[in-house]
Amino acid sequence: MSNKVNKNVLRAGTITAGTALMLLMSSPAFALTRDDGDDPGPGLSVIQTLGLYVAAPIVLFLIIAGLVMAGDKADKKAKSKG
């Protein structure tokens, strides 16, 4: 194998090992022990979860995209008149 291939393999291995290490370090090792002042609220229903994590971002995206398109159309009309 050439020197360039060895460098690429070493780089890929390092990135893979680093990613795996970061994932292991961020895992909730003591998730079952409660901390002082830990008072989780009631869980979300399926409808609430879908609304919060699916519908709300889509609606926000559409609102922002609509505002950008409206501003772009207004800018084109002003340039064509002047």
The answer to whether residue 12 scores a pLDDT higher than 90 is yes
Taking the C-alpha atoms of residue 49 and residue 42, their distance in angstroms, rounded to an integer, is 12
Instruction: Render pLDDT for 32-71 as a digit per residue (tens, 0 to 9).
Output: 677 777 777 899 999 999 999 999 999 999 999 999 999 8
Measured CA angle at 15 (ends 9, 17), to 5 deg? 100
Largest CA distance in the chain: 68
pLDDT band with cut points at 50, 70 and 90 for residue 73: confident
Percentages helix, strand, coil for the chain, rounded to the nearest 5?
Answer: 70, 0, 30
